[in-house]
Amino acid sequence: MQNKAEIDFLEIEEKQEYIDLINEVINKCFEKEIKNKNLYISIILTTPENIRKYNNEYRKIDKETDVLSFPMFEKEDIEKVVNDINSQIKDVIGDIIISIPKVQEQAIEYGHSFERELAYMLVHGFYHLMGYDHIVDTDKQEMRKKEEEMLNTLNYTRN
């Protein structure tokens, strides 16, 4: 399977271990959830300052956050797109932006590894791109269940 993540580093050091973990997680998400072989995800790893700018510009929330997801398809369209096995068009299903310093901070706060926290951010962002959300409690439960199943499959479990 070719890698399904296009990865950019914005004002942070490029590290091979980040690239390897991202490819492992995103490829597994695609293997489990996406039949269309011509799709990929754009991922930007950045600083708290940059993610704050994105959050303010696109969501009108002037604060740092850990992860932002920007789907390219509406919820009602994504299932058709990801299941189109005959598609010949290479297309991005969305963008995930992650604050690496925030991942490091939260890994310490929650008492688990940096790798587990980054894997969680990737899986969380992926399911947002797939149309899942956590605003309504029933939707949140469904999304959390999918996230935990994927993290368990990848062996990035809570300590």
Please report the pLDDT score of residue 1 as a whole number.
Answer: 65
Render 139-151 in DSSP notation, one character per residue. HHHHHHHHHHHHH
- Give this prediction's pTM: 0.95
For the chain, which residues score pLDDT lower than 70?
A: 1, 159
| Structural domains in the chain, sorted by start | 5-153 (3.40.390.30)
CA–CA separation, 56 vs 144, rounded Å?
26
Residue 150 half-sphere exposure toward CB, CA atoms < 13 A:
26
Distance CA 75, CA 131 (A): 5
pLDDT digits (tens, 9 = 90+) for 27-44: 999 999 999 999 999 999
What's residue 136's pLDDT?
81
